[in-house]
Amino acid sequence: MDVRAQVSMMFHLDKCIGCHTCSVACKNIWTDREGTEYMWWNNVETKPGTGYPTKWEDQDKYKGGWQPKGKTIKLKVAENKSNTFANIFHQPHLPTIDDYYEPWTYKYGDLFDAKAGDDQPTARPVSLITGKNIDINAGPNWDDDLSGSSVYAKNDPNLTEEEKQALFEIERLTMFYLPRICNHCLNPACVASCPSGALYKRGEDGIVLLDQNTCRGWRFCISGCPYKKTYYNWKTGKSEKCILCFPRIESGQAPACFHSCVGRIRYLGVVLYDADKIEATASAPENELVDLQREMILDPHDPEVIAAAEKSGVPFSMVEAAQKSPVYKFVKKWKLALPLHPEFRTLPMLFYIPPLLPVLGRMEDGVYNVDSEDYFTSLDKARLPMRYMANLFTAGNEEQVRLVLEKLLTVRTYKRAEEVGDMDSAQLKAMFEKTGLTPELCEEIYRLTSLPTFEDRFVIPPTHREYVAELTMEDAYTFKAEIGFGGFKTVRLERGA
């Protein structure tokens, strides 16, 4: 058992109000400069929808992530050595500026300095890249609040053709927000695909970073990342990505997008995991990926895990942070949070609690009727089909996502019974039996979801500068890859450079 520590994250989608405060906070700190105008390290998408960049989930187009090959896995972007070598100076699977959007500003001088006249002055939009006048046709979340439209929802790859057509019925119109940042994966395809070795995973906390001095701008990382969270700076000729605000974490502060979140949907904490299981987990059948990733996360209270962590060089203060981690509770203890698109096999360390969507019903005599025999049957009448949520969070396994939603519904029902007193106790007892929850667990989940303090949501590990300063290349954790003229084989986390 090779125990490592990882700073992990959890987003509660039922609480996201789509205000984009997180995106603006990140933009103002990290990407408010020339060459980064189109970059949103944190972005908020409307689902159903095509996302940013457009249809980033379609790996037939972008060739991101890993694919099974025998008993192991192989990068999709590196199909064979000859193709990889031929593409080293030209990446055919990159998103274009049209897949993102052409960033713009306005000619405010035309508005503020206009001479007095009979006509109302206007500020024309101009491209931040070319400086020329443009017609605005897209943005980082151009489909904001427009899910169900024939432009965006109709092109969502997670919906079947029949579901796309049904979505346009007025009673089915629905949407939710999906905030996204770099997942700082355990098996990052961006790291494995970089020919220059510029991308690496920090040994002390697992944050994935990009060395600007080593980057050669080959952009394999952009194609390799299935979440499209690595970007190319056209001004510097280097790639850039979310760094999880590690300077803030090292000074005891939450990342900017976490700290600024109005809906308080974001949680951050340390989890301990067994690095020996990375390859086996990433190579597993799709329907086992979620459960196996959970199994990789270890109990920080287990004496054997603590001893193994000490043997691996994990400071005990990091273990203590893992013991208090809200992410560990949501992911491992309560099994409420799920990874986004686990079928990409990168083992993302950003988890989501799926939203409880409105149900589909009809009006009868002034009453909205959903024809539900009990509360759980309402999940089958959600305006978005269960398959949609499964395609997002469980690689198509509907039972796994259904169990999460049943637990969330049980907590909601328990609190309603406690506050309003109009719930059938027998029905509530049946819900407890089916989900494995108890009144005590429901109360614990409710308090960490609805009434958490700043310290409850963000358990930031203390920085050991003396430990980091003494790290050598032999101590650091890096990803090993056999490279021959761009031919990449399976990568796994190992000690040594």
User: How many whole angstroms from its chain centre is CA 96?
Assistant: 22
Between 424 and 479, the higher pLDDT residue: 424
Mean pLDDT of the chain: 87
List alpha helices for 347-395, DSSP H. 386-393
pLDDT digits (tens, 9 = 90+) for 177-193: 999 999 999 999 999 99
pLDDT digits (tens, 9 = 90+) for 307-344: 999 999 999 999 999 999 999 999 999 999 999 999 99
Q: Tell me the pLDDT band of 127, cut-offs 50, 70 and 90.
A: very high
Buried-exposed string 11-50: b where 16+ CB fall within 10 A, e elsewhere? bbbebbebebbbbbbbbeebbeeebbbbbbbbbbbbbbbb
Q: Tell me the pLDDT band of 149, cut-offs 50, 70 and 90.
A: confident
Is the confidence at residue 209, as pLDDT, over 80?
A: yes
Q: Which pLDDT score, from 0 to 100, does residue 22 have?
A: 97
Side-chain-side CA neighbours of 153 within 13 Å: the count stands at 25
Surface-to-core class of residue 200, CB atoms within 10 Å of its CB (0-12 exposed, 13-18 middle, 19+ buried): buried
Between 116 and 56, the higher pLDDT residue: 56
- In the chain, the percentage of residues whose pLDDT exceeds 70 is 88
Cα–Cα distance measured from residue 290 to residue 20, given in angstroms and rounded to the nearest whole number: 29
Mean predicted confidence (pLDDT) in 460-478: 59
Q: Tell me the pLDDT band of 466, cut-offs 50, 70 and 90.
A: low
Which residue(s) pair with 488 in the sheet?
483
Cα–Cα distance measured from residue 175 to residue 165, given in angstroms and rounded to the nearest whole number: 15
Whole-prediction pTM:
0.90
Q: Which pLDDT score, from 0 to 100, does residue 89 have?
A: 73
C-alpha closest to that of 343 among 407, 415, 289, 413:
289
In the chain, domain spans = 263-463
Q: Classify domain 263-463 at the CATH topology level.
A: Alpha-Beta Plaits (3.30.70)
